[in-house]
Amino acid sequence: METVVQLKQKPASASEPRSVVILGATGSIGRSTVEIILGAKGAFSVPAVAGGRDPQTLARTARELGASFAALADPAGYAELKEALAGSGIEAAAGPEAVIEAALYPSDMVMGAIAGTAGVKPTFAALSAGRTVALANKECLVCAGPAFIRQAEKTGTRLLPVDSEHNAIFQAMNECDPDTIEMMTLTASGGPFRTWTKEQIAQATPEQALNHPNWAMGPKITVDSAGLMNKGLEVIEAHYIFGIEAARLDVLVHAQSVVHGLVSFKDGSVTAGLAAPDMKVPIAHCLSYPTRIETAARRLDLAAVGQLTFERPDFDRFPALRVAIEALRQGQGLPTVLNAANEIAVEAFLNRVISFHEIARVVEAACEAALADGVAKEPQSVEDALAIDHMVRERSRALLARSSASGMVINQ
């Protein structure tokens, strides 16, 4: 598999602003992107923005950035968005097709930060149109990785990784030959349950799972982080982004979240990407690549940190990581199945339908069922991937409904 992140692109400059469309402008990554762009006077322009269900925030963002087009994914918010943009000259639109229209708006780059599978189609549309994509959506590659990589290679489109771990590895690689890499290591903070016993983790509440020690993120990704499923999804992402097989991908638990990724080479040398745990660092790197811009991102003070610790992940206490790595190793469409079942399971946990330890059980049961009946075929297109995603979601919801009605524990 070829890597698609190494290609050069023109730098942002004051004399020739780089135009950036922001998909997911009202979310955590989107807001940080807006802050960086507003702080880098004259380096960027933003012709279009897209958001999910918050018309007021989207309208305010579009006005701040001087955008020409604002699209809301939720059609029910169209009237409110249009009213909030009245007199601004900014065109308002709503619905999934409007988000794709935003993705296709003429630009140099698209920030793909729509959470969940809702981001797959618009991000793929931007990729297919030849836009450079700064990718902050895990589902694009976990759900439809083969289709995305094939399309990127076909169009010569660049994928720049926004996730802090992948971005650190990207920088540590320094455009080397992937064949010279012995191992890529992604780090995990360990989340709020790093020192908890297996029994304590099993009884964790949504409030406890959402109390991440290092990062401020959305609820779904925070729960994933608490169970290390997030790191499993990132291992799958790394496989597609860098063209590295599962055997050369590793995970270390690193509580301080300072070393985000390491690259070990065949000659015994190791390079690492370090930064304070602030998503503005990788976002700024992608926005301005291959040059760098000054930002207000947190600076790393190693003396203040004092020490850096590392440990192997415990698959017994955090089975979700094991399930995700096994899905990658078995291949086919299992990453797609894993992603869909996990979204349903996390939703059920946040709604207090299942316990925390049942998240991994629901996902593993879905993967086993998909292998048994042939559903886990590798998707050849985004449409194939989304069809599998839909089927697995329906199955997982049905499994949860049956288990809830009978009082049984999943896969006991």
Q: Of 161, 190, 205, at which residue does a domain stop?
A: 161
Residue 411 lies in a domain: no
Residue 366 lies in a domain: yes
Split at pLDDT 50, 70, 90, the class of 116 is confident
pLDDT value of residue 4: 54
Do 87 and 118 fall into the same domain?
yes
Buried b / exposed e along 361-375 (16+ C-beta atoms within 10 A) = bbbbbbbebbbeeeb
Task: Fill in the DSSP letter of residue 76.
Answer: G
Number of residues that make up the chain: 412
pLDDT value of residue 302: 96
pLDDT, mean of residues 300-326? 97
Do 97 and 157 fall into the same domain?
yes
Between 410 and 23, residue with greater pLDDT: 23
Q: Which residue has the tokens 């064949």?
A: 179
From residue 357, give the alpha-carbon distance in Å to each of 198, 392, 396. Answer: 9, 20, 16
Residue 363 lies in a domain: yes
Do 111 and 37 fall into the same domain?
yes
For residue 317, pLDDT beyond 60: yes
283, amino acid identity: I
pLDDT, mean of residues 299-317? 97
pLDDT value of residue 224: 94
**What token pair was written down for 4?**
């698609």
pLDDT value of residue 249: 98
pLDDT in tens, 131-166: 999 999 988 999 999 999 999 999 999 999 999 999
For residue 16, pLDDT beyond 90: no
Do 88 and 200 fall into the same domain?
no
What is the number of structural domains in the chain? 3
pLDDT, mean of residues 312-329? 97
pLDDT, mean of residues 281-296? 95
Question: What is the domain extent for residue 192?
Answer: 177-275+298-305
Do 140 and 193 fall into the same domain?
no
Q: Of 111, 137, 161, at which residue does a domain stop?
A: 161
pLDDT value of residue 333: 94
Do 194 and 226 fall into the same domain?
yes
For residue 1, pLDDT beyond 70: no
Do 111 and 46 fall into the same domain?
yes
pLDDT value of residue 11: 45
Give me the residues paired with residue 161 across strands.
135
Residues 357, 202: Cα–Cα separation, whole Å = 5
pLDDT value of residue 51: 97
Q: Which of 2-11, 160-169, 258-267 has the lowest mean pLDDT?
A: 2-11
Residue 358 lies in a domain: yes
Residue 167 lies in a domain: no
Do 138 and 58 fall into the same domain?
yes
Residues 112, 158: Cα–Cα separation, whole Å = 12
Residue 154 lies in a domain: yes
Whole-model pTM: value is 0.91
Taking residue 140's Cβ as centre, other Cβ atoms within 10 Å add up to: 28
Residue 79 lies in a domain: yes
For residue 115, pLDDT beyond 60: yes
Instruction: Compute the half-sphere exposure of residue 261: CA atoms within 13 Å on the CB side of its CA.
Output: 23
DSSP secondary structure string for all residues of 30-55:
HHHHHHHHHHSTTTEE--EEEESS-H
Do 199 and 149 fall into the same domain?
no
When the pLDDT of each residue in the chain is averaged and rounded to a whole number, the result is 93
For residue 95, pLDDT beyond 70: yes
Residue 170 lies in a domain: no
pLDDT in tens, 377-407: 889 999 999 999 999 999 999 989 887 765 5
Q: Which of 72-81, 82-91, 216-225 has the lowest mean pLDDT?
A: 216-225
Helix runs in 52-110, H state only: 55-65, 78-84, 96-103
Handedness of CA 125, 127, 131, 134 (dihedral sign): positive
- CATH of residue 379's domain is 1.10.1740.10
pLDDT value of residue 15: 65
Do 182 and 130 fall into the same domain?
no
Give the helix/strand (H/E) hosting 69: strand 69-72
Q: Which residue has the tokens 């291992």?
A: 235
Do 55 and 118 fall into the same domain?
yes
For residue 41, pLDDT beyond 70: yes
Do 150 and 191 fall into the same domain?
no
φ, ψ (nearest 5 deg) of residue 23: -95, 125
For residue 14, pLDDT beyond 50: no
- CATH of residue 40's domain is 3.40.50.720
